Amino acid sequence: MGAATPSDIKLLASNIINQAKKMGATAAEVTISQDSGFSVNVRKNNVETIEHNKGKKLSATVYFGYRSGSASTSDFKPNSINLTLEKACHIARFTEEDPYVGLAEKELMATNFPDLDLYHPWPIKIEEAITLAKNCEKAGPSYDKRITNSEGAAVNTYASLNAYANSHDFCGAVASTRHGISCSLIAEHNQEMQRDYYYTTARDANDLEHYEVVATKAAKRTVERLGAKKITTQKCPVIFIAEVASSLINNFIRAISGPNLYQKATFLPDHLHHQVFAKHITIEEDPSIPKALGSSPFDAEGVKLYKTEVIANGILERYVLDSYSARKLKMKTTGNAGGIHNLIIKPGSFDLTGLLKKMGTGLLVTEFMGGGANTVTGDYSRGVFGYWIENGNIHHPVTGVTVAGNLKDIFLNIQEVGNDVDYRSTILTGSILLGEMMVAGT
């Protein structure tokens, strides 16, 4: 990690908390982060960019009763930190009181920090990364002669150290890494051009897919898009592949998140303990999966994290709250300050091929092209690219169509969740089969 170790960062954070108390703060919290890494991009066997990333940041929040103030700095020298705290205190003295501000409750703080196996530095040099990216790009055209061009290949590696401390005597630090390889290709046939890509990402470079696999998948996806055409407007079954299904589930998370709930900007108000998904759907959050991208022993407020069910047999069991939104709603934090931690949609017994057979005839969605969801009304409309399916098999690529519906109906209309789980996200889901959606075409 460079200059500072987790112990160094934790000591610095604790000292800042003590300093804030001496300045009169009734409570305080500090977040410290430092990261380093690089990425290389090549195109047509030439290096296009080499980006080095190295940064650090310290953010402090102080509380004077129900008044709060925050300030941040990238300079860790004592004078700069002292000035940052003075700024935070000055801001706090002039802000309006807010009865909902403050640290998460002391009894909720994490007290043990299991090793979740998140830190795996990749000792790859720039020259090696360039060679790897070039080899990845070269492997694409060998798949099919219709691959005529490239948008490039990239290799990246990053390491970070994040610490959080507060005046409840909590102090924790998490070191983590994330690496990736990606490739984007262009295919051409009969004066038509299509592009597609594929990527692999993991905490441990040993868990990355081989560069030839990345290139082959990118090439396969690209040539399969050739010959795309529109379909007629109709209602039909729709499958979202796992890669885009996570976006669908993310709309649900936004709808049950604290700020949208207390601002009444959600299509799921007062739905706790009500059915919001099909009865066979179970969704849980598990922050303790080794090496997973969403794993952590505590949230951004130091709250201890547990494996919990968000949806049980279609029933909404809990919201997604930090301590501020929880107080607004007269509830308790769910440990989601900073976001979700490995949301798992329980898979069924079918892989994607099995889902296609079950659907029979309908639309397979593989990419979103625009549009979005209205969190207030639940109205959902997305331009998509995909494939028309007949008798469980791909018939032809489809472009220039829009899928639409209301998220309330969509969630209740989920027929199957595939076991082809995409682990490259904090939302771990397989492909999702919907009984029916409006598909607007010609």
141 and 161 together in one domain: yes
Q: Half-sphere exposure of 332 toward its Cβ, with a 13 Å CA cutoff?
A: 9
Tell whether the model's pLDDT for residue 1 goes beyond 50: no
Tell whether the model's pLDDT for residue 6 goes beyond 90: no
The single-letter code of the amino acid at 188 is: E
1 part of a folded domain: no
Tens digits of residue pLDDT in 22-76: 999 999 999 999 999 999 999 999 999 999 999 999 999 999 999 999 999 999 9
| CATH number of the domain that residue 56 is part of | 3.30.2290.10
Q: Half-sphere exposure of 121 toward its Cβ, with a 13 Å CA cutoff?
A: 10
254 and 130 together in one domain: no
The percent of residues in the chain predicted with pLDDT above 90, rounded, is 96
Q: How many CB atoms lie within 10 A of CB 160?
A: 19
Tell whether the model's pLDDT for residue 381 goes beyond 60: yes
Distances (CA, A) of 52 to 42, 156, 431: 15, 10, 36
Tens digits of residue pLDDT in 122-161: 999 999 999 999 999 999 999 999 999 999 999 999 999 9
298 and 156 together in one domain: no
296 part of a folded domain: yes
The pLDDT value given to residue 58: 96
The pLDDT value given to residue 62: 98
CB 1 within 8 A of CB 36: yes
Domain count, the chain: 2
- Residue 225 tokens, joined: 């898009």
Tell whether the model's pLDDT for residue 111 goes beyond 90: yes
Please list the helix, strand and coil fractions of the chain in percent, rounded to the nearest 5, in that order. 25, 40, 35
Tens digits of residue pLDDT in 386-397: 999 999 999 999
Tell whether the model's pLDDT for residue 383 goes beyond 90: yes
Tell me the pLDDT of the chain averaged across its residues: 96
214 and 249 together in one domain: no
Mean pLDDT of 256-273: 97
Tell whether the model's pLDDT for residue 380 goes beyond 50: yes
Residue with tokens 């009894």: 107
374 and 426 together in one domain: yes
113 and 71 together in one domain: yes
395 and 277 together in one domain: yes
Mean pLDDT of 228-236: 96
Helix (H/G/I), strand (E/B), else coil: 210: coil
Tens digits of residue pLDDT in 322-369: 999 999 999 999 999 999 999 999 999 999 999 999 999 999 999 999
391 and 429 together in one domain: yes
Q: How many CB atoms lie within 10 A of CB 206?
A: 9
CB 26 within 8 A of CB 64: yes
309 part of a folded domain: yes
What is the residue range of 111's domain?
A: 6-224
Tell whether the model's pLDDT for residue 263 goes beyond 60: yes
What are φ and ψ of residue 213, in 5° steps? -65, -45
235 and 219 together in one domain: no
Q: What is the value of pTM for the model shown?
A: 0.94
Q: Report d(CA 228, CA 187) in Å as an integer.
A: 13
Mean pLDDT of 245-271: 97
CB 245 within 8 A of CB 429: yes
Of the candidates 168, 203, 224, which is a domain's last residue? Answer: 224
Mean pLDDT of 211-234: 96
DSSP per-residue string spanning 354-387: HHHHHH-SEEEEEEEEEEEE-TTT-EEEEEEEEE
Of the candidates 178, 201, 224, which is a domain's last residue? Answer: 224
90 and 183 together in one domain: yes
Q: What sign does the dihedral 311-355-422-151 (CA atoms) show?
A: negative
342 and 428 together in one domain: yes
Tell whether the model's pLDDT for residue 200 goes beyond 70: yes
249 and 207 together in one domain: no
- At 10, the pLDDT band (50, 70, 90 cuts) reads confident
- At 3, the pLDDT band (50, 70, 90 cuts) reads low
Of the candidates 224, 249, 273, which is a domain's last residue? Answer: 224
- At 210, the pLDDT band (50, 70, 90 cuts) reads very high
The pLDDT value given to residue 2: 46
